[in-house]
């Protein structure tokens, strides 16, 4: 098949597959200063299919190199989303400093939590006792593991409309400890990819991805502030959107990137059209690594955790301004305007490439402050008002669009 004229070329700063299909970031971990990103991957087609874990890594969190496929389907099923921890003290018995991956085995109408381990992140061995948490139904997935302050391990798993918590002392034997339920609205779809994130001072953030809970029926992600003890998550404020754009989903934080100010990445797409968007033989990209801060007054701030040495590379750019700035892109039959102006952070897209693609996605910006627009092949990320508002979107303007920046 010919590439679609609006399909992007290789992103400069964003993780994207060489071929095939990518969705959620998985197993985010920093080891010896290197950022490792595993991700949902279907190497044989640019549509979602039997899931694997792909793997890329980077020394600066911006330029990525490919590693071999980490996990492939086996007799227990295909490999859905999950997380990685470094087991410094050998609690599981795979050796000190082993990388331990938790993922969902997806087998038709059943989903189970399973384990794999590695000494180097490249060669993985699936645990012989899998699954470590057998499931009974079709929605029991996306294990995220974190260490509690008392030394126990905690796992959170989604069950479509609520979360289940488990605890363990050895990463292999898990006991149910509690759950989380909340009314997040009628139109949110499935809860997916939960993350319980320590802020290092007794406060925690709960991140939940909602398959149709974003703007205009797109996938979306919410963040809930609260307290967590491994059994109960007690919300201390209302859920806030992580991002106001159509494409920011399955956000997960890194193991080892600094607990007090957690850093994570999202899939820059939406289930509403992920399989239909323009393709040149591959679909999907991830956000740049973003640092979350939760300020007094329940204000969430999000800002890139990394920044490039040169803000222009191969014609793509980071636009950094105080206050208003707008970028315009056009090519391949598509057009995009994005940035901050007239008291709003926004992305506007046209081209008619998929149902739900065209439109204006905007949020008010009240107090001014710094603006950063990351403009790359395949996507724009607008950080406004010092990170109090972000708007992220995939963009289809071909590999060599016309790019203009306006700063009033």
Residues with catalytic roles:
24
23 part of the interface to ligand FRU, by CB under 6 A: yes
Tokens encoding 48: 């979602």
Question: Which of 8, 99, 13, 72 lies closest to 286 in space, CA to CA?
Answer: 13
Output 14 or 301, the one with its CB closest to ligand FRU. Answer: 14
- Characterize the bridge pairing of strands 20-31 and 282-283: parallel
- Partnered with residue 56 across adjacent β-strands are 37, 66
Output 21 or 303, the one with its CB closest to ligand FRU. Answer: 21
Of residues 30, 35, 40, 302, which one binds ligand FRU by CB under 6 A? 40
**Cα-based torsion angle of the residue sequence 67, 71, 73, 76 in order, rounded to the nearest 10 degrees:** 180
- Minimum CB–partner distance for residue 195 and ligand FRU (Å): 12
- Determine the Cα–Cα distance for residues 233 and 162; give it in Å rounded to an integer: 12
- Minimum CB–partner distance for residue 246 and ligand FRU (Å): 14
- Minimum CB–partner distance for residue 158 and ligand FRU (Å): 7
- Minimum CB–partner distance for residue 139 and ligand FRU (Å): 9
- Determine the Cα–Cα distance for residues 167 and 357; give it in Å rounded to an integer: 41
- Minimum CB–partner distance for residue 111 and ligand FRU (Å): 8
52 part of the interface to ligand FRU, by CB under 6 A: no
Output 24 or 376, the one with its CB closest to ligand FRU. Answer: 24
294 part of the interface to ligand FRU, by CB under 6 A: no
Of residues 104, 168, 221, 371, which one binds ligand FRU by CB under 6 A? 104
DSSP string computed for 206-218: EEEEETT-SGGG-
Helices (H) then strands (E): counts for the chain: 0, 32
81 part of the interface to ligand FRU, by CB under 6 A: yes
DSSP string computed for 297-316: TTEEEEEES---SSSEETTE
- Determine the Cα–Cα distance for residues 291 and 361; give it in Å rounded to an integer: 22
Output 144 or 317, the one with its CB closest to ligand FRU. Answer: 144
Of residues 51, 62, 266, 397, which one binds ligand FRU by CB under 6 A? 51
- Interaction pattern, residues 223-252, with ligand FRU; x per rule: CB under 6 A: ---------------------------x--
Q: In what order do the strands lie in the sheet with 52-58?
A: 65-66, 52-58, 34-42, 20-31, 282-283
Cβ of 48: how many Cβ atoms within 10 Å?
A: 16
193 part of the interface to ligand FRU, by CB under 6 A: yes
Counting residues that bind ligand FRU (by CB under 6 A) gives 12
Residues that bind ligand FRU (CB under 6 A): 23-24, 40, 51, 80-81, 104, 141-142, 192-193, 250
């Amino acid at each position: 098949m010919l590439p679609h004229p609006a399909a992007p070329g290789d992103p400069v700063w964003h993780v994207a597959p060489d071929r095939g299909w990518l969705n959620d970031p998985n197993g985010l971990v920093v080891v010896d200063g290197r950022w490792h990103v595993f991700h949902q991957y279907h190497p044989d087609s640019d549509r979602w299919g039997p899931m694997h874990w792909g793997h890329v890594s980077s020394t600066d969190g911006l330029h990525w190199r490919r590693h071999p496929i980490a996990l492939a389907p086996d007799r227990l099923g295909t490999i859905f989303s999950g997380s990685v921890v470094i087991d410094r003290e050998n609690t599981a018995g795979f050796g000190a400093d082993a990388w331990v991956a938790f993922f969902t085995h997806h087998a038709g109408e059943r989903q189970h939590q399973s384990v794999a381990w590695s000494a180097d992140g490249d060669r993985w061995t699936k645990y012989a006792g899998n699954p470590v948490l057998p499931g009974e139904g079709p929605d029991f997935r996306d294990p995220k593991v974190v260490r509690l302050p008392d030394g126990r391990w905690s796992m959170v798993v989604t069950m479509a409309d609520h979360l289940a918590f488990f605890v363990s002392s050895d990463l292999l034997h898990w006991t149910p400890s509690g759950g989380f339920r909340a009314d997040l609205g009628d139109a949110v779809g499935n809860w997916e990819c939960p993350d319980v994130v320590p802020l290092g001072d007794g406060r925690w953030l709960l991140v939940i991805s909602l398959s149709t809970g974003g703007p205009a029926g797109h996938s979306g992600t919410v963040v809930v502030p609260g307290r967590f003890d491994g059994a109960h998550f007690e919300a201390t404020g209302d859920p806030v959107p992580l991002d106001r754009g159509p494409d920011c989903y399955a956000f997960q934080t890194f193991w080892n990137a600094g607990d007090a100010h957690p850093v994570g990445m999202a899939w820059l797409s939406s289930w509403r059209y992920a399989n239909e968007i323009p393709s040149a033989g591959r679909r999907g990209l991830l956000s740049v690594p973003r640092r979350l801060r939760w300020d007094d007054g329940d204000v969430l701030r999000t800002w890139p955790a990394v920044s490039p040495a040169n803000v222009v590379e191969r014609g793509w750019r980071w636009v950094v301004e105080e206050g208003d700035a707008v970028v315009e892109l056009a090519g391949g039959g598509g057009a995009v305007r994005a940035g901050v102006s007239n008291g709003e952070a926004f992305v506007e897209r046209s081209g008619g490439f998929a149902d739900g693609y065209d439109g204006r996605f905007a949020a008010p910006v009240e107090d001014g402050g710094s603006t950063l627009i990351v403009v790359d092949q395949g996507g724009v990320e607008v950080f406004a008002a010092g990170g109090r508002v972000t708007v992220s979107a995939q963009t289809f303007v071909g590999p060599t669009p016309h790019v203009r920046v306006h700063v009033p």
